[in-house]
Each structure stands twice: as structure tokens, then as C-alpha cells.
Chain A
Amino acid sequence: AQTVTQSQPEMSVQEAETVTLSCTYDTSESDYYLFWYKQPPSRQMILVIRQEAYKQQNATENRFSVNFQKAAKSFSLKISDSQLGDAAMYFCAYRSPYNNNDMRFGAGTRLTVKP
């Protein structure tokens, strides 16, 4: 079964600086989808970015970008120009198109943004 590992329980960044959150996953599948979700104090799960495994180009959404290394099974999230509103729990997720489209989440990384 696929597992998703976020090795950083907590991270902090200075406002306007850049931070990278790590995510690795274990799979034998060649096609899959990866997601980063943000969970602010409001508890709402908000999609940040999505990556399709068959696309080599790294996904980008404004200040958020990923470094997708398929061979290394790594999917890190880079937040540029960090803002106070970026403070949240960030979850990495893996979704398989083969196993009932099951989505697996990592344990999360709590990001603190310092003013």
C-alpha cells in the first residue's frame, strides 16, 4: 500500500522569506496524482497545488510551487514570499488511479510564519 511521509512535524519561516516543506511517498505505480492541502485554524482543507506524475514539469500556483522528483519519490512544496496567512497545517496526499482512487495523506507539517 502507498504511504506518504512528511518528516517535518513543524516548520517556521520569517514573513517574506521562502520555506520548503518535504514529502516523500512509497509506491510501485507509474501513474498517480499528488496534492498539497492547507488546513488553517478554521479547519477547512484547501487545495494548494496538484501534480500529475506523468508530467515532468513542476506545478506552480502563484507563490506556491513544487519540486517533483519521480525517481526519488519526492514531492516538496516551496512557498515563496511567505505571508502571515500561510500559517497552517500542510498535508501532502497521494492518489492512485488503480486502487479505487484511494487518497492517502501524510501526517502533516505545521507551518508558523513569524512577522
Chain B
Amino acid sequence: DSGVTQTPKHLITATGQRVTLRCSPRSGDLSVYWYQQSLDQGLQFLIQYYNGEERAKGNILERFSAQQFPDLHSELNLSSLELGDSALYFCASSVDPAAKNIQYFGAGTRLSVL
């Protein structure tokens, strides 16, 4: 168990809908990262937060947004969903954003858009 909690484990929804994925980082970790793992594109970095502030953006679509709350949990919001958004979404956390720090991953949320 990595200590990173993601809910829900599975999510099935329809095109055009909006969903929210939730992540609780390991105790003491201030940085949260979101990744998307799809069959044809591997693991792609979406966005990073540190102590409530957005720190870095990767290949995140404009339809997607995220935030980190004062209690350090994070939510990834996906809107106007398309079939191609079906993927495994991972949250990871580390003590701070420094590259040397290990990122610990949650078990992921599998999103199926029908």
C-alpha cells in the first residue's frame, strides 16, 4: 500500500458528461501529480500541484482541470467527456516537487466513457 488513496476505483459514464476524480496523498506529502494511462499513449503527465498551488502542466486538455485543497487532497475534473478520454487516471504524491523525490502512486481510477 503506497499510502495514496484514489476514489472511485471505477467510473462508467456517457459522452458529454462531467466527472470528478479524488486523490488523498500520503501523509506529509505536499506535492500531487496526475497522470493519464491510455492503451495507445502510455503514461502521460497531466498536472502537478504543490501545497495548493499549480506548479506544472503537461498534456492536459482544456476540458480537464484540477485543484489541490487546503487539506492537500486533490481533485481532477473531466468535462465534456469523449470516448477517447477512457483511460486509467493515476494520482501520485511526493514530499515536495524536487526531482530527486520518489513519487508514490495510487491504485488509479479506471474511467470508461460509453
Which chain B residue lies CB-closest to A52?
B100
Judge if B12 is at the interface, Cβ distance under 8 Å. Answer: no
Judge if B55 is at the interface, Cβ distance under 8 Å. Answer: yes
Q: Is the CB of A42 within 8 A of B107?
A: yes
Known A-B contacts A45-B92, A97-B100, A100-B56; A105 and B105 likewise in contact (beta carbons under 8 Å): no
Q: Is the CB of B48 within 8 A of A100?
A: yes
Q: Please name all residues of chain B whose beta carbon is closer than 8 Å to the beta carbon of A43 when the two chains form the complex.
A: 88, 107-108, 110
Judge if A16 is at the interface, Cβ distance under 8 Å. Answer: no
Judge if A32 is at the interface, Cβ distance under 8 Å. Answer: yes
Against A, the Cβ 8 Å flags (1 = close, 0 = not) of B51-79 are 00001101000000000000000000000
In the assembled complex, the Cα of A105 lies from the Cα of B45 at a distance in Å of: 9
Judge if B14 is at the interface, Cβ distance under 8 Å. Answer: no
In the assembled complex, the Cα of A46 lies from the Cα of B108 at a distance in Å of: 12
Known A-B contacts A44-B2, A45-B90, A97-B98; A104 and B45 likewise in contact (beta carbons under 8 Å): yes
Known A-B contacts A44-B2, A97-B100; A106 and B92 likewise in contact (beta carbons under 8 Å): no
Known contacts A91-B43, A108-B42; 6 further A-B pairs (Cβ under 8 A): A43-B88, A44-B2, A44-B105, A97-B100, A100-B55, A102-B58
